[in-house]
Structure 1
Amino acid sequence: MTELSWHKSSYSGGNGGDCVEVAEGATTAVRDTQNRDLGHLMFPGSEWTALLGTVRAAEL
């Protein structure tokens, strides 16, 4: 398995509290920075794109 390259989500708060990290590629992995040892969720790229589109549309 390829090692994931994690980065803090741009949707996470900037104060260091509730943070989500993502590793994007053909599939996208999502994890809680305060509970990394509990694992992560994986989403197909098309589902991740649809989720972000929905979140962005709701912000308007």
Structure 2
Amino acid sequence: MPEVKWTKSSYSEASGNNCVEIAELGPTILIRDSKHPHHPRTTVSRTTWTAFTRTL
């Protein structure tokens, strides 16, 4: 898998170890738990991610 840049919400704690992180990889959004960055990631389409974030 190519190198990806993980980001988290600006509302996350300063320690950064208790949040959800996302990365964009072409038409795909990767989602992971910052406490377990090497565990399996959830993958969704950009369309699904956009629909999800609009409900928040």
TM bin, normalised by shorter chain, reads 0.7 to 0.9
- SS of aligned partner of 1:34: coil
* Equivalenced residues, count: 54
Unaligned residue ranges in structure 2 (runs of 5+): none
> Highest relative contact order (Cα 8 Å, sep 6+), 1 or 2?
2
The structure that is helix-richer by fraction is: 1
Q: CA RMSD in A?
A: 1.9
Deviation beyond 6 Å, 4+ runs, structure 1: none
Deviation at 1:7, TM superposition (A): 1.3
Question: How far apart, in 2, do the equivalents of 1:49 and 1:11 lie?
Answer: 18
Rg larger for: 1
Unaligned residue ranges in structure 1 (runs of 5+): 56-60
Normalising to structure 1: TM-score of the pair?
Answer: 0.71
Q: One-letter code of the match for 1:45?
A: R
Normalising to structure 2: TM-score of the pair?
Answer: 0.75
1:6 aligns with 2:16: no
Question: Which residue pairs with 2:55 in the alignment?
Answer: 54
